[in-house]
Amino acid sequence: MAGPVSRALRVPSFAKVNLGLEVLGTRGDGYHELRTLFQTVDLADEILLQPRPEDAGVTVACDHPLVPKDGTNLAVRAADALRRYGNVATGVHIEIRKRIPVGGGLGGGSSNAAAVLLGLDRLWRLGLGPAGLHGLARKLGADVPFFLVGGTALGLARGDEVYPLRRQVRAHVVLVDAGMPVSTAAVFRRLDASLTPRENSNSIFYFVSRDLEGSRDLRLLTNDLEQAALEEAPALKERAERIRAVLVRAGAGLAALSGSGSTYFGLFDGAGKARLARRALGAAGFAAIPARTLSLDQYRKVWSRSLGR
Ligand code: C5P
C-alpha cells in the first residue's frame, strides 16, 4: 500500500438546513428521538489539511473568534479519533476559513468534523469511505453522519441514521443569520421543561409519502424546536416574525428556522424571487446569504473532485 500523502489537501465543508424537524421523545442516552429532513446547501467553510510530523499532533487555526482553537474543537476531535482508529503516525494542522454562521443551526461544526474525516481518510490513505467512517462520525455528534452523505435526506434516531430521498429538493435558498447564536443543548432542555403537552406530528411522513407520488408540498413541514428556541432567545421572536414575513411575501415555498436556530431560511423556485427576498431583507437590516441546494449527486461530485478521485 502507498504511504500517506505528504502534500496539503483542501476540502469544502458545506452547511445544512433542516427542512423539517420533529422531536418524538427523550431517549435513555440523554438525547432526543428525532425525525428530520436534512438538506445540504452550497454555503461552505474551507478546510486546509496540512500534514505535520508525528510529535506535532493535531492542531487547528480558524479565522472566527467564536470557534475553539483547542482540543474541544469538533474538527480536532474528529482528526484525533481517526488518527487513533487508523494507527496513523503523522500529525496534521487544520486550518478553517469560516463562512457558515456559528451557532446558527446550520451544522457548521458537525460539517467541519465530517469534512476532516473524509479528507484525512484520503490524506492518510485509510480507504474507509463514508460507510467506514460512519461509526466514528456518530460518536462525534448527531449531525456528523449526515455530512458524510449530503443532499436531501431523512434523519432518524438521534438524526444520525441517514436515508437519502429519491427525489432531491432543488431550490434557491436565502439564509438569514438573525445574529443571535443559540445553544442546541439549551433549546432541547427548554423543550423538555415546557409544560405544554406536544402532539407528535406526522408532517415528515406525509411529506415523504406525497413526494413519492410526485406531489411535493413543502408547506407541510414544521420545526418542533422553533418555539423552544424563541423562548431561549426572546429577542429573536420579533426578528423572526419580520424575517418570515419578508420571505413569505417574496414567494418562499418554505420559510423556517433551521435546527435549533438562530438562522432562518427561505426556499425559492426561481432566482428572481430569491433576489427580491435578499433585497427586502437587506432593506430591513438583516444579513441575507444567497445559496443553492446541493443534491446528493452534486455533493458526491464536489467531494470526489476534492479528494482527487
Ligand atoms: O450531538 P451534538 O453534540 O451535535 O448535539 C448537541 C446537543 O443537542 C446534545 O448535547 C443534546 O443536548 C442535543 N440533542 C438531543 N437530541 C438529538 C440531537 C441533539 O438532545 N437527537
Task: Please count the residues of the chain.
Answer: 309
Predicted local confidence at residue 261, as pLDDT = 85
Residues 5-31: what's their mean pLDDT?
93
Q: How confident is the model at residue 19 (pLDDT cuts 50, 70, 90)?
A: very high
Q: What is the pLDDT of residue 1?
A: 41
Choose the catalytic residue: 121, 143, 160, 224: 143
Among residues 16, 121, 160, 224, which one is catalytic? 16
| Residue to mutate (ligand 1; options 111, 112, 188, 260; most atoms within 8 A of CB) | 188
Residue-level pLDDT at 197: 63
Residue 46: all three cell numbers together: 474551507
State the pLDDT at residue 264: 97
The response to whether residue 143 sits with its C-beta less than 6 Å from ligand 1 reads yes
Tell me whether residue 63 is one of the annotated catalytic residues.
no
Ligand 1, atom 2, lies closest to the CA of 141
Percent of the chain whose predicted confidence (pLDDT) is above 70: 97
**Beta strand spans in the chain (E):** 9-26, 32-52, 58-62, 91-97, 152-157, 161-164, 172-177, 254-257, 263-268, 287-294
Give tens-digit pLDDT for 69-123: 999 999 999 999 999 999 999 999 999 999 999 988 999 999 999 999 999 999 9
Whether 158 lines ligand 1, by a CB cut-off of 6 Å, is: yes
Q: What per-residue confidence (pLDDT) applies to 169? A: 96
Residue 62 predicted with pLDDT over 50: yes
Please indicate whether residue 144, judged by its CB atom, sits closer than 6 Å to ligand 1: no
Distance CA 94, CA 56 (A): 12
- Mean pLDDT score of the chain: 94
DSSP string, 99-120: -SPTTSSS-HHHHHHHHHHHHH
- Cβ of 172 closer than 6 Å to ligand 1, yes or no, is no
Q: pLDDT tens for residues 194-229?
A: 766 667 788 999 999 998 888 888 988 999 999 999
The structure's pTM equals 0.94
pLDDT of 2 above 80: no
Q: Could you read off the pLDDT of 133-188 as tens digits, one per residue?
A: 999 999 999 999 999 999 999 999 999 999 999 999 999 999 998 888 888 999 99
Please report the DSSP string for 160-229 in residue order: TEEEE-SS----EEEEEE-S----HHHHHHHHHH--S--PPP-HHHHHHHHHHTT---GGG--BTTHHHH
- What's the CA-to-centroid distance between 51 and ligand 1, angstroms? 31
Q: What is the pLDDT of residue 195?
A: 63
pLDDT at 56 > cutoff 80: yes
